[in-house]
Amino acid sequence: MKTQKVLFVAGVFLSVLSGVAVAATSTGVDVGARYHTKHSEFVSLPYADGDWTYTAGYEINEENSMLQINCGFTPEFKDNKDLDYGITPELNLLAKDGIYQGGLGILSTYTRNGGGKSDWTDMYWQWILGLNVPLGDRLSIQANAYYVFESWGTLGKFKFDDIEFGGSVCFKF
């Protein structure tokens, strides 16, 4: 598990460096929110139906792809009253075609309780499918659906009730 976290941090770092090195790409910052559901198969996640995560991130856009580096903050967990908050860094790679986008992300959630005890979840994955609608040259809005899963072997246990939804606004520079 420690190796996965080191690889994740290294991947984020290298992604940022590669994005800075390519002058032809467009970049942007985004803010948004995500509505969570209680997952039927992935029970070790701390989220319940109705939990909200507020996100901020950085995007590197190419013509047909996008790399997102996001961090989410969950101020409370409805089913886990002993947890004070959660922080979820994520790295997403999306393919784009017009206003449509879809891809895969990897993430992990850090939780902390009132007694000062903290913990990281194991790395987990998410499929992303959504819309990215430009509003002029510098602004866009995104609406996405997320299917979170723990391992590739559990993809066959897909249920529509496990889909989460989110939206964001991006300012490009």
By the 8 A CB rule, do 107 and 90 touch?
Answer: yes
Split at pLDDT 50, 70, 90, the class of 152 is: confident
115 — pLDDT class (breaks 50, 70, 90): confident
- Which helix (H) or strand (E) segment holds residue 9: the answer is helix 2-21
90 by DSSP, 3-state: which?
A: strand
**Higher-scoring residue by pLDDT: 134, 79:** 134
Q: 28-66: per-residue pLDDT in tens?
A: 999 999 999 998 888 888 898 999 999 999 999 888 999
With beta carbons less than 8 A apart as the criterion, state whether 44 and 7 touch. no
Q: What is the pTM of this model?
A: 0.83
Give the single-character DSSP code of 161.
Answer: G
Query: Which of helix, strand or coil describes residue 16?
Result: helix
3 pLDDT above the threshold of 70: no
Average pLDDT across the chain, whole number: 88
Record the tokens describing residue 39, joined without a space: 């997952």
Residue range 2-16+35-172, CATH number: 2.40.160
The backbone region for 24, taken as left when phi is positive above 0, alpha when psi lies in -120 to 50, beta otherwise, is alpha
Residue 153 has a pLDDT of: 81
Confidence of residue 114 (pLDDT cuts 50, 70, 90): confident
The stretch 140-165 carries a mean pLDDT of 90
Domains of the chain by residue range: 2-16+35-172
Distance CA 25, CA 155 (A): 33
